[in-house]
Amino acid sequence: MILQNLGLDPTIEYFIWLIIGVIILTLILWLAVRIIVSKTKAKDKKWMIMLLSIIALIVLPLISGVIAQLLNLIGRIPELLPWGQNYLILLVPIVEYLLFLILVKYLISIEWGNAVWVS
């Protein structure tokens, strides 16, 4: 990795990568809103886009982990049967996308059709 040779504390390295991720995701979301919705909406909602990217990088993975643990727990019940396998855990990326779609729709306050394209 880029920062391994500097000998930084892992916590500081985590926050540096988090800041870089927030900046990149904010720019991508801002550009998507600017192209898909309008230039004025992207200009008016730039702080909400930044808040959305912070939520998407910090809170959404935590919620996805909880949902994954819950679906894994529920999905282990059919494994007791001879033909059962745990395919329920494969729904986690779909649920994560739907949560991000809801966040985009209500934080940026755009229509559902545009929110699908932005997210």
- pLDDT tens profile 37-46: 999 988 999 9
Whole-number Å distance between alpha carbons of 45 and 48: 5
pLDDT band at 4 (very low <50, low <70, confident <90, very high): low
Q: Which residue has the higher pLDDT, 38 or 4?
A: 38
Domain ranges for the chain: 8-118
Mean pLDDT calculated for residue range 2-16: 79
**Res 88 pLDDT > 90:** no
pLDDT at 78: 74
Per-residue pLDDT tens digits for 15-25: 999 999 999 99
Six-digit token string for 9: 């504390």
Q: How far, in Å, are 15, 76, 104 from residue 85 at the CA level? A: 38, 8, 34
